[in-house]
Amino acid sequence: MAADVRDALAKEAHPLPPAWVWRWQDDVFDFQGGAQPSASTFVSAPRVGYVRLIQIRDYYTDSHVTFVPDSPKLRKCSADDVMIARYGSSDDSRSQNSLGRICRGLDGAYNVALAKTVPVADVDRTFLYYLLNSDSFQSPLRAQGARSVQAGFNRESLRVISLPVPPLPEQRAIAHILGTLDDKIEVNRRTGETLEAMARAFFKSCFVDFDPVYAKAEGRDPRLPKEIAGLFPERFGESELGEIPAGWRVGRFGEVVEVLREQENPLDSPNALFSHYSIPAFDEGQTPRPEDGHSIKSLKFRVPAGVVLLSKLNPEIERVWMVAVRPDERPVCSTEFLVLRGRPPFRRGYVYCLARSPVFRQQIEGLVTGTSKSHQRAQAESVLNLSVVVPPPGIARAFEHFAEEVLARTLDCRRESVTLASLRDALLPKLISGEVRVKDTERLMVGERGTHASAS
């Protein structure tokens, strides 16, 4: 681009604090595109983690990466690298558009839909991560991408973007403040995953592998509290599903849950704020999106407290959502979800762990109808007719007592992370633009936390 055109564009930028400067993109960072993996016929060929566009989320990379044969032709990245999604739809809504998504890399390789940034010498890598997540970069990038059907960017389209850059010490201070919030969010995510894994492992041991029954039948200690161990039998009986604990029976999933089908049309309340539990919201961190009624274009199911959402769309993708509905919310969900409430004595913890158990997942994946790979569904009645092992009420209640406490802590971690993410999202544009300086952040953070605390 001609220098005079770039200078004219720069004059439109808002004033910056002293010592801050506007810089063109190519004076802030360069980027390197990825490469496709090569096919290998050797099973023993070294494998390397490979980041694809589908694994990019706002502020993080899905840990379930694929592995491909290593090759000198692959472009490599590290966990410290800042990655940009190069392609996406031309939809200007970032929540629906992968173009410009920013994430961390991994110690591996990345594909052609991504680019690795290379900051210049006086630009802090972590500051660059937040700078590229800000509207200073995202807004002009989306405007560039919206001009084509297959949105994307190249070097020329990025060169027209100017970015605010403070001195290096202030870059590092900004990165530290925002990074501290993200670190806590990550701790919460890992803690929640660990707690949930505990509940699911206990469920599998008791209701899938029948470990306590095998232990008692073989004269071993089941390693459970005496009052719980006493609820399990010491022998097995035959059933249509094979051996199951004596006194248990095979029933239908519909005996464990009921499907709630109360509908609401958000367009009837265009100015009301809804918590929208959608398929994309699940895929992007299991956080419902706040949306006005006028922006939700179709009928939805109401979501009461204490339910589990089970996706019937593309059931090979596991989407089981244990929701935490607050009293002040107006929650609705996509009709692609089944809204499940446990029938007594079964409650949320049991339903959630059952719906995520390997045996249940295998069954539901066999129910798909539809010829399009992207729109296969399991029919609700077929799901309710799936065979499940039904334990006596006392054992179900004992499990629920344990699971509800553990899973409630998981939801607490998720709720705190939502608050922290809101605080980060409020601070990021103010810090990146210089509207709020580092020395002012402590006062702002206290105020934001108080606002969220009073709202929850």
Given a cut of 60, is residue 66 above it in pLDDT? yes
Residue 67 burial (CB count, 10 A)? 13
Q: How does pLDDT run across 259-282, given as a tens digit for each residue?
A: 999 999 999 999 999 999 999 899
Structure-token pair, residue 304: 């009461």
Q: What percent of the chain has pLDDT over 90?
A: 63
Quick one: the chain helix, strand, coil %, rounded to 5? Answer: 40, 20, 35
Mean pLDDT for the stretch of residues 36-47: 67
Give the model's confidence band at 201: pLDDT under 50 very low, under 70 low, under 90 confident, else very high: very high
**Do residues 413 and 324 make contact, with C-beta atoms less than 8 angstroms apart?**
no
CA dihedral 128, 130, 136, 140 (to 10 degrees): 80
Mean pLDDT for the stretch of residues 71-82: 89
Beta bridge mates, 114: 85
**Do residues 310 and 253 make contact, with C-beta atoms less than 8 angstroms apart?**
no
The chain-wide mean pLDDT, for the chain, equals: 87
Mean pLDDT for the stretch of residues 227-231: 95
More confident residue, 374 or 302: 302
Q: Which amino acid does the sequence have at 430? A: K
Q: What pLDDT is recorded for position 55? A: 63
Distance spanning both ends of the chain, measured CA to CA: 50
Rounded-to-integer distance, Cα 445 and Cα 84, Å: 28
Min mean pLDDT across 49-63, 188-202, 330-344, 350-364 is at: 49-63
Q: How does pLDDT run across 383-401, given as a tens digit for each residue?
A: 999 999 999 999 999 999 9
Q: List, in order of start, the domains of the chain with CATH numbers.
A: 3-165 (3.90.220.20), 191-408 (3.90.220.20), 410-455 (no CATH)
Mean pLDDT for the stretch of residues 71-99: 74
CA dihedral 133, 136, 139, 145 (to 10 degrees): -80
Q: What percent of the chain has pLDDT over 70?
A: 85
Mean pLDDT for the stretch of residues 197-203: 96
Q: What pLDDT is recorded for position 72? A: 85
Give the model's confidence band at 96: pLDDT under 50 very low, under 70 low, under 90 confident, else very high: very low
Q: What pLDDT is recorded for position 92? A: 40
Q: Which amino acid does the sequence have at 64? A: H
More confident residue, 340 or 3: 340
Given a cut of 80, is residue 97 above it in pLDDT? no
Residue 134 burial (CB count, 10 A)? 19
Mean pLDDT for the stretch of residues 67-71: 84
Given a cut of 80, is residue 63 above it in pLDDT? no
Structure-token pair, residue 372: 């399009």
The verdict on whether omega for the bond into residue 429 sits within 30 degrees of 0, i.e. cis, is: no
Give the model's confidence band at 12: pLDDT under 50 very low, under 70 low, under 90 confident, else very high: low
Q: What pLDDT is recorded for position 455? A: 36
More confident residue, 427 or 96: 427
**Do residues 307 and 348 make contact, with C-beta atoms less than 8 angstroms apart?**
yes
Residue 68 burial (CB count, 10 A)? 21
Q: How does pLDDT run across 388-447, given as a tens digit for each residue?
A: 999 999 999 999 999 999 999 999 999 999 899 999 999 999 999 999 988 877 665 555
Q: How does pLDDT run across 304-341, given as a tens digit for each residue?
A: 999 999 999 988 889 999 998 988 899 999 999 999 99
Q: Report the interhelical angle of 135-145 vs 125-133 (nearest 10°).
A: 50
Element (H or E) spanning 353, and its range? helix 348-355
Given a cut of 80, is residue 100 above it in pLDDT? yes
Rounded-to-integer distance, Cα 67 and Cα 420, Å: 33
Residue 316 burial (CB count, 10 A)? 12
Min mean pLDDT across 66-70, 160-164, 203-207 is at: 66-70
Mean pLDDT for the stretch of residues 353-377: 84
CA dihedral sign, ordered 105, 109, 114, 119: positive
Give the model's confidence band at 451: pLDDT under 50 very low, under 70 low, under 90 confident, else very high: very low
Q: What pLDDT is recorded for position 93? A: 41
Show the beta-strand stretches assigned E in 361-425. Answer: 368-369, 377-378, 387-390
Residues in the chain: 456
Min mean pLDDT across 116-120, 354-358, 370-374 is at: 370-374
Q: What pLDDT is recorded for position 340? A: 98
The verdict on whether omega for the bond into residue 345 sits within 30 degrees of 0, i.e. cis, is: yes
**Do residues 258 and 343 make contact, with C-beta atoms less than 8 angstroms apart?**
yes
Rounded-to-integer distance, Cα 323 and Cα 331, Å: 10
Residue 395: closest CA among 211, 253, 228: 228
Mean pLDDT for the stretch of residues 159-170: 94
Q: What pLDDT is recorded for position 40? A: 60
Residue 35 burial (CB count, 10 A)? 15
CA atoms within 13 A on the CB side of 34: 24
SS3 173: helix
Q: What pLDDT is recorded for position 2? A: 46
Give the model's confidence band at 99: pLDDT under 50 very low, under 70 low, under 90 confident, else very high: confident
